[in-house]
Structure formats: C-alpha cells, structure tokens
Amino acid sequence: MKKLLITGALVIFILLCTAFLFTACASSAGATSGETFTINIDKTSPLFQSNFIYGLTHTHYWWHVENPIAVQRAKGLVKDISTVHNVHIMGWGSGNPWPSKTANFNFRDIKERVDLAIELGGEPWITFCTAPGWMKGTHDWAMEEAPLPEFEDDFAHLCAEVAKAFPEVKVFQVWNEFKGMWADGGQVDYVRYTRLYNKVYTAVKAVRPDAELGGFYAVLEGDGTFKTFGGNFEDNRHTSEPLNNLSRDAIAYFLANAIDMDYFLVDRANVDYHNDGYWSWQTRLYRATRDQAMRLTKYFQKATKEVAELTTLPIVWSEYYGTYGDGKGEFRRNNQPYIGAHYASIAYNMIMGAGGRDLYALLWIEWEHTVRHALFTDPLSPAGGRPTPHYFAMKKLIDNFPKGTMLYTANISSPDLKNRDLENRDLEQDVISDLIEVLASEKIAYVINKTNTVLTIILNGVTHELRPYAVEVFNYN
C-alpha cells in the first residue's frame, strides 16, 4: 500500500511538472503563432540616407573598475558599437570640480572618464552639469537645482575652464533636462535656460573657438497614450502626442534667442514619467503591458520628425528611455529579448523620423544590476560583462546600417490581421507597425518582431521565421 501511495504521488508529481513545463514553454513561445507578413523591399523607391550614430553616457556606476576579466570583456563589447562617450562634469560619477570660489579646480574624475572614452575608441563628449552647491545656494548633490542667477557667470567660467583643460573633447552639452529651471504651471523656464546657455556658449567659445556646443536638452512631454488607448486616460500634457504646445513654445524661444549652437538636444521616455495611469513615482514602476509599450514606440518617430521640422541642426537624443513593465508593475532587472526588441524599435523610429538628418542616440549606460536596459551583464565576477539581447539588437543595427546607408521602402502586408483584435483601428499599416518593423538597405533587412509570438515573414519571396521579440538581419535579393 505504501508503495502504491508513493508511486501514485510520483505520477501526480510528474504530471504536474509536465503541465508546468508545458505552460512555461507555451508562455515563452507566445500566446499565438503562425501569423505571416509579406515584406517587399522596393529598390526603386529610395527614402533617405540613415545617419544614425550610437553613443553612451557614462554614469555614477563605475563599471570599468570592477572584476578585470569581466571589465575587459565589457570594454570589448562597447568598443564594437559606440561612437560617442558622454560624461558629466559633476554628479553621475564625477565629484565636485570646484568646491568653492577660492579653491583650485579639480578635474581628476572628469579626466579619468575622458581617458576611458578614448580607450574605448570613441569620441569623448562632456555635459556641463551639475553645478557646485555654492552656485545653487544648497548642497553639492541637490541634483534638481540650477545655478542661481547671481552665480551663472561663475558656472560659465567653470565650463570654460573644463573646455580649456580638455582640448581632446570637441562637443559639449549644456545642462541636463532643465534641472532646477521651472516656471509657473510646471513649464520649463526656457528664458532662464537660454540666458545660462548664452553665458556658457560665450565663455567656452572665448577659450575654445573650435568647440561645438549643443543646447536645449529638455524632456519632450507627451507619450501618446490618450490617442492610442483612448478613454483609459485623461487627456493632458503627459498623455498627449508629442510635440505639445508647451514643448513647441520652449523650442521656439530657445532657437530664436540662443546665440548659436551646433546640436539640438532632446530627451523623452516611451511612457511619460508624469503619466499617472502608467507610471508611479512612489514605486518607480510601470503598469503598461509590453504590447502597450510597443505600440507607443512610434511616437519617437513623430517627436523626431517634428523636431527636425523646427531646426536644421543635427538632433541628439541625449537621453531616451523604454518601458519595462509587464502590466503588473514588477521591477525586473533581467534583460529579456523584449528589451532588445523594444529598444530596436525606438532606434528604428528615431531613424525614420530624422529623415536623413544626422542623429545621435546616447544611451544612459549602467550595468545590469542597476537598470533593465543594460548592454552587458554585471562585471562583478569573472563571468560577467557578457552581451545582453539589447546589445545584440544594437550591434546588428550599427554593423549593417552605418552612417550614410541608403534606406529603401519596405512594403508590409498580412492576410492574418483579421485574427487580431484591432480595437477599432482602421489603418492597416498602423496595426502592422505595432507588430513588426523593417529597416531596409539595398541588400539587408533589419526586422523587429514586436510581439511575444512566433511570426513568419516572406521577405522578397524567401520565408523566414521570427522568434518572439526577435531582432534579425536578413540578406535579400
């Protein structure tokens, strides 16, 4: 009897395990499969040259001083994909460069990071932010404060000294996200920012006529959730489509009143951080599902396109952030294939929106322990510093679509859309772009599966299968 009970329990255990594994495998493969998309690349229909340039902003996580084996591996990865390496003069990893007005300058931390950028084979950039506490009327690490008006000249002098000390650095970004510069109603104080920018520009150019400066670096509000998902959201500045009128007013004033500039800097998140429906400042968690997040990446294209219509300058995405939620608000640090596909879609939409303009995308780089969009795993042990799906997605783009690559029209259709819940969406191409995106050169297609399903594609007559959230490149005729 005892044997029978044990045997019966074992059978039940095996059945439960089998059921669990089957469910897990089904979940990882996606809820549905078998949808087919026909992709025809029309070489008679050129679009424009892609001038996408990938860069990294190095922050307060000094990954390069961790385990030597892992660090060496991570450095090799970064060398292969990044052209620009940006650092801040204070904060985000750098100490106070000017502790008091009577103190000597201390650029040791800045130098270490500039040297790292050169070692990694890229072009070093410097961001003039933050300012020492004595300029802000508070402590050093009040990161959301700006230089007080009476100390703006001192800040400009500091920036000029930094520029003079690092002749190997050519490009400088002025300030970061309008920190500390706010007007009534939560609007950015673009008058104050423009005044500070002009002082910095004048001081830097006086000692470094060859320097190139970029300005604005404000967060572009609006994530498009109201337009995309309708009645679930209040229609306000954070759920509207970019660019909203507040952003346009700020851009117009800055462009009209800045002395000059070489780059126009912008910043945004796929889900607006003030969208209470999808983001919580209390828990710092997203509530959006992955399907919803993927449907919002198209607004990076809209935002980039509308900025390009307002200025002829090269556009720099000084910061940009994807959405990592699974609809449950869970904080997941592991780099799943979704992250790679999500950021690939963001890059695709930036490129399409730029329409051939020089376009820089600076990823806020931190290691896996701190963010979910890391390019490599934690370099804390010899096993670390290994590429993530995000890394592979970007490397495929950068290797196959270098600056100057001509792009061609990719026509996509599918007979299977009738099986999808289209939620009253009328435009077939809008629905398709929520599921799959294709960037095409004369010989190569960069294909992004934005879904957690297996998709079949017929690319210029050749059939391929795409795993859930796959980002692949295919040669075609």
Same domain, 178 and 61: yes
Domain membership of residue 4 (yes or no) is no
Domain membership of residue 475 (yes or no) is yes
Residues 43-63, mean pLDDT to the nearest whole number: 95
Cα(473)–Cα(445) distance, integer angstroms: 5
Residue 8 has pLDDT above 90, yes or no: no
Same domain, 348 and 287: yes
Q: What is the pLDDT of residue 289?
A: 86
C-alpha torsion 30→33→35→37, nearest 10: 60
Task: Supply 69's token pair.
Answer: 């084996």
Under the banding of pLDDT at 50, 70 and 90, the label for residue 231 is low
Domain membership of residue 296 (yes or no) is yes
Residue 228 has pLDDT above 90, yes or no: no
Under the banding of pLDDT at 50, 70 and 90, the label for residue 5 is very low
Under the banding of pLDDT at 50, 70 and 90, the label for residue 394 is very high
Domain membership of residue 24 (yes or no) is no
CB 203 within 8 A of CB 157: yes
Same domain, 275 and 380: yes
Q: What is the pLDDT of residue 333?
A: 53
Q: 117 - beta bridge partners?
A: none
Q: Which of 179, 164, 163 minimizes the C-alpha distance to 126? A: 163
Cα(390)–Cα(370) distance, integer angstroms: 15
**Residue 387 DSSP class:** B
Same domain, 462 and 382: no
Residues 178-194, mean pLDDT to the nearest whole number: 92
Same domain, 458 and 324: no
Same domain, 38 and 162: no
Residue 17 has pLDDT above 80, yes or no: no
Per-residue exposure over 300-326, b if at least 16 CB sit within 10 Å of its own CB, e if not: bbbbbbbbbeebebbbbbbbbbbbbbb
Q: Which helix (H) or strand (E) holds 404?
A: none
Strand residues in 244-401 grouped as ranges (E): 263-269, 279-280, 285-286, 315-321, 359-365
Show the domain range for 180. Answer: 49-405
Lowest mean pLDDT among 253-267, 320-334, 348-362, 428-442: 320-334
Q: What is the pLDDT of residue 19?
A: 36
Among 342, 372, 405, where does a domain finish?
A: 405
Among 353, 379, 405, where does a domain finish?
A: 405
Q: What is the pLDDT of residue 281?
A: 60
Q: What is the pLDDT of residue 126?
A: 98
pLDDT in tens, 295-352: 999 999 999 999 999 999 999 999 999 988 665 544 445 558 999 999 999 999 999 9
Cα(161)–Cα(339) distance, integer angstroms: 40
Q: What is the pLDDT of residue 27?
A: 34
Under the banding of pLDDT at 50, 70 and 90, the label for residue 28 is very low
Under the banding of pLDDT at 50, 70 and 90, the label for residue 232 is low
Number of folded domains that form the chain: 2
Domain membership of residue 8 (yes or no) is no
Greater pLDDT, 370 or 158? 158
Q: Identity (one letter) of the amino acid at 472?
A: E
Q: Which of 232, 213, 119, 233 minimizes the C-alpha distance to 172? A: 213
Same domain, 57 and 143: yes
Domain membership of residue 107 (yes or no) is yes
Q: 52 - beta bridge partners?
A: 359
CB 60 within 8 A of CB 91: yes
Same domain, 99 and 125: yes
Cα(243)–Cα(223) distance, integer angstroms: 9
Residue 29 has pLDDT above 50, yes or no: no
Tally Cβ neighbours within 10 Å of residue 211.
Answer: 21
What global pTM score does this model have?
0.90
Burial (CB count <10 Å: 0-12, 13-18, 19+), residue 69: middle
Domain of 119, CATH number, reads 3.20.20.80
Q: What is the pLDDT of residue 187?
A: 86
Q: What is the pLDDT of residue 285?
A: 64
If DSSP codes are grouped into helix, strand and coil, which group holds residue 104? Answer: coil
Q: What is the pLDDT of residue 26?
A: 33
Lowest mean pLDDT among 368-377, 398-407, 436-445: 368-377
Residues 123-142, mean pLDDT to the nearest whole number: 97
Under the banding of pLDDT at 50, 70 and 90, the label for residue 288 is confident
Cα(79)–Cα(385) distance, integer angstroms: 13
Per-residue exposure over 351-389, b if at least 16 CB sit within 10 Å of its own CB, e if not: bbbbbebebbbbbbbbbbeebbbbbbbbbbeeebbebbb
Domain membership of residue 20 (yes or no) is no
Same domain, 428 and 383: no
Cα(148)–Cα(196) distance, integer angstroms: 10
Same domain, 41 and 55: no
Under the banding of pLDDT at 50, 70 and 90, the label for residue 430 is confident
In the predicted model, what is the mean pLDDT of the chain? 88
Residue 143 has pLDDT above 50, yes or no: yes
Q: Which helix (H) or strand (E) holds 239?
A: none
Domain membership of residue 25 (yes or no) is no
Domain of 410, CATH number, reads 2.60.40.1180
Same domain, 65 and 100: yes
Residue 105 has pLDDT above 70, yes or no: yes
Cα(170)–Cα(123) distance, integer angstroms: 8
Among 350, 370, 405, where does a domain finish?
A: 405
Q: What is the pLDDT of residue 14?
A: 36
Same domain, 160 and 212: yes
